Amino acid sequence: MFFHVADEKMRPGNAGQVAYWRVDDFYQAVDHAQKHGAKLYRGPLTIEENQAICQMWDPFGNLFGMQGLILV
């Protein structure tokens, strides 16, 4: 797990720090979260070594991030 630093889109106080969860299959995890009420906020973005990253709102208004492998 790691944290996203504040920037122009995520200012301090908007949702606090963003905790990222490392997942084995990125798109499967995003789909699972969406089926349970989460909504994409930022991303997904493809990053190094065949990985992707995104931020999502959960149904309770909490912001969280995910990072994981893009499995083909």
Give the CATH number, domain containing residue 45.
Answer: 3.10.180.10
Instruction: Check residue 62 and give its pLDDT.
Output: 83
Identify whether the C-beta of residue 19 lies closer than 8 Å to the C-beta of residue 64: yes
Which amino acid, one-letter code, is at 44?
Answer: P
pLDDT of 65 higher than 90: yes
Domain that holds residue 20: 2-69
pLDDT tens column, 6-63:
677 766 555 567 889 999 999 999 999 999 999 999 999 999 889 999 999 988 888 8
Could you give the C-alpha distances from 68 to 12, 16, 20, 27, 54, in angstroms and in order?
25, 22, 10, 8, 10
pTM of the model: 0.77
Instruction: Check residue 36 and give its pLDDT.
Output: 94
Instruction: Check residue 13 and give its pLDDT.
Output: 54
Instruction: Check residue 48 and give its pLDDT.
Output: 87
**Considering its fold, how many domains does the chain have in total?**
1
